[in-house]
């Protein structure tokens, strides 16, 4: 899941970036409403975490403009505005959830997982393909009932593929899920992560579609 964090409080933003990355999310951060509008226009995100009291353009206006453009990306509002009226306005503008600062980090992560389940049509916090199971809650992976230890980027790559079973994802799509703005990406970075996943799980779990990208498919026992 690629998240856009829109927060002008630098200390809070750094803490959230660290926590979300530890939870195996790919996160981009902007600190004002105008940058948020540009980021949403130029990039694809799976979730937006949005403050309301932003410089240049209020968060409610960011949300209003985003929905007016037909962008249905899930949005969680994180705001110090704690009145019932503020919550109702935020939800009516198109937010999927509303949390009041200060908030509990574990609760935020749980609400993110709810939106992940809703987006993927999952009844539980798991992505499963045959004997391969990825648990969103514990950030763990098992293959044929045995735990598989993955590095952060390996986990994110596997998760992106499992979210799109049997679909071909291009190298650019996978790089976008793995790496943030301004990060240098080696030309063979995705190949390396795919190689490690095949080695740790099964050589046949991820198929290379030459000149197109990669596809995850169920391996017959």
Query: In this structure, are 20 and 108 located in the same domain?
Result: yes
Average pLDDT over every residue of 130-134? 91
Return the bridge partners of 3, or none: 27, 47
Which residues are within 8 A (CB) of 106 and not within 5 positions of it... i.e. 6 or more apart?
none
The reply to whether 103 falls in a domain is yes
pLDDT of residue 221: 52
The DSSP string of 174-204 is: HHHHH--TT----TTHHHHHHHHHHHHT-TT
| CATH number of the domain to which 146 belongs | 1.10.10.10
How confident is the model at residue 219, as a pLDDT?
67
Judge if 105 and 162 occupy the same domain. no
3-state secondary structure of 98: strand
Q: What is the pTM of this model?
A: 0.79
Which pLDDT band holds residue 148 (cuts at 50, 70, 90)? Answer: very high
Please state the separation of Cα 187 from the chain's center in Å.
23
Q: What is the per-residue pLDDT for 179? A: 77
Identify whether residues 6 and 46 lie together within a single domain: yes
Q: Let me know: does 48 contact 67? Beta carbons within 8 Å.
A: no
Kindly state whether residues 90 and 148 are assigned to the same domain: no
Asked if residue 105 is part of any domain, the answer here is: yes
Rounded to a whole number of angstroms, the distance between the first and last alpha carbons of the chain is 29
Number of structural domains (the chain) is 2
* Whether 134 and 86 share a structural domain: no
Helix H or strand E segment including 2: strand 2-6
Domain interval for residue 28: 2-120
Same domain, 33 and 52: yes
Residue 69: CATH number of its domain: 3.40.50.2300
Query: Is the same domain home to 158 and 108?
Result: no
User: Are both 13 and 110 inside the same structural domain?
Assistant: yes
On whether both 7 and 87 belong to a single domain, the answer is: yes
Domain shared by 104 and 152, yes or no: no
221 domain residue, yes or no: no
Domain end marker among 87, 120, 153: 120
Residue 39 lies in a domain: yes
Angle at the Cα of 62 from the Cα atoms of 56 and 65, rounded to 5 degrees: 125
Whether residue 18 sits in one domain with residue 85: yes
Output the pLDDT for position 117: 83
Segment 9-58, tens digit of pLDDT: 999 999 999 999 999 898 999 999 999 999 999 888 999 999 999 999 99
| Domain final residue pick, 59, 93, 120 | 120
Same domain, 175 and 133: yes
Answer with the one of 70, 91, 120 that is the final residue of a domain. Answer: 120
């Amino acid at each position: 899941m690629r998240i856009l964090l829109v927060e002008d409080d630098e200390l809070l933003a750094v803490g959230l970036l660290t926590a979300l990355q530890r939870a195996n999310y790919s996160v981009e951060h902007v600190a004002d409403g105008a940058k948020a509008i540009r980021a949403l226009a130029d990039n694809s995100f799976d979730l937006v975490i949005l403050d309301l009291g932003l410089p240049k353009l209020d968060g409610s206006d960011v949300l209003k403009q985003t929905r007016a453009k037909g962008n249905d990306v899930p949005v969680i509002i994180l705001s110090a505005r704690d009145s019932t009226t503020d919550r109702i306005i935020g939800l009516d503008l198109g937010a999927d959830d509303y949390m009041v600062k200060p908030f509990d980090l574990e609760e935020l992560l749980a609400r993110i997982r709810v939106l992940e389940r809703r987006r993927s049509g999952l009844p539980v916090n798991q992505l499963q393909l045959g004997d391969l199971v990825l648990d969103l809650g514990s950030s763990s992976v098992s293959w044929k009932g045995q735990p598989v230890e993955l590095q952060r980027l390996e986990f994110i790559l596997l998760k992106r593929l499992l979210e799109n079973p049997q679909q071909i994802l291009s190298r650019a799509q996978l790089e976008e899920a793995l790496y943030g703005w301004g990060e240098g990406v080696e030309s063979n970075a995705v190949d390396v992560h795919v190689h490690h996943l095949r080695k740790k799980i099964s050589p046949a779990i991820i198929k290379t579609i030459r000149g197109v990208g990669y596809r995850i498919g169920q391996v017959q026992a």
